[in-house]
Amino acid sequence: MQRRTFVATSTAASLASVLARPIRALGAATEKNGIGLQLWTVRNQLTNDVSGTLKAVVDAGYKQVELMNIAESADIVRTAKDLGLEVRSAFFNWETIAVPSNSNAPAIEKLIDSAKEYGLEYMVFGYIGKQARDTSDKLKGIADRTNAAAEKVHAAGMKLSYHNHAFEFEKLDNGKTGFEIFMEGFDPQLVNFELDVFWAAIGGWAPIDTMKKLGKRLGQIHLKDLKAGQGTIYDEGKVPNDAFQEVGNGILDMKSIVQLATDYGVTQFHVEQDQSPDPIASIGQSSRYVKTIW
269-285 pLDDT per residue, tens? 999 999 999 999 999 99
Q: Distance (Å, rounded) from C-alpha 116 to C-alpha 158? A: 8
The predicted pLDDT at position 20 comes to 41
Q: What pLDDT is attached to residue 10? A: 34
Q: What is the pLDDT of residues 136-146, one digit of tens each?
A: 999 999 999 99
The pLDDT of residue 32: 44
Residue 262's nearest CA partner among 216, 194, 206, 227 is 216
pLDDT at 33: 58
Residue ranges in the chain whose pLDDT is less than 70:
1-33
Summary mean pLDDT of the chain: 91
Q: Is 231 helix (H, G, I), strand (E, B) or coil?
A: coil
- Helix boundaries (H) for 224-278: 254-263
What's the pLDDT tens digit per position in 78-98? 999 999 999 999 999 999 999
For the chain, how many residues are written? 294
Helix (H) or strand (E) holding 269, with range, is strand 268-271
User: For residues 257, 194, 205 and 94, what is the CA-based torsion angle, rounded to 10 degrees?
Assistant: 160
Burial-class residue 34 by CB neighbours within 10 Å (0-12, 13-18, 19+).
Answer: middle
Contacts of 112 (CB under 8 A, 6+ apart): 123, 152, 153, 156, 158
3-state SS class at 5: coil
Domains of the chain: 1-32 (no CATH), 34-293 (3.20.20.150)
Q: Which of 138, 135, 207 is nearest to 175 (CA)?
A: 135
Beta-strand relationship, 225-226 and 244-245: antiparallel
The backbone torsions φ and ψ at residue 120, rounded to the nearest 5 degrees and listed phi first, read -75, 155
Question: How far is residue 274's CA from residue 243's CA, in Å, rounded to a whole number?
Answer: 10
In the chain, DSSP finds a helix count (H) and a strand count (E) of: 12, 10
Burial bucket for residue 21 (CB in 10 Å: 0-12, 13-18, 19+): exposed
Model pLDDT, residue 294: 85
- Burial of 272: CB neighbours in 10 Å, binned 0-12, 13-18, 19+: buried
Q: Which pLDDT score, from 0 to 100, does residue 44 have?
A: 98
CA–CA gap between residue 189 and residue 254 (Å, rounded): 28
State the amino acid at position 291 in one-letter form.
K
| Predicted structure pTM score | 0.89
Alpha carbon separation from 153 to 123, 264, 265 (Å, rounded): 8, 22, 21
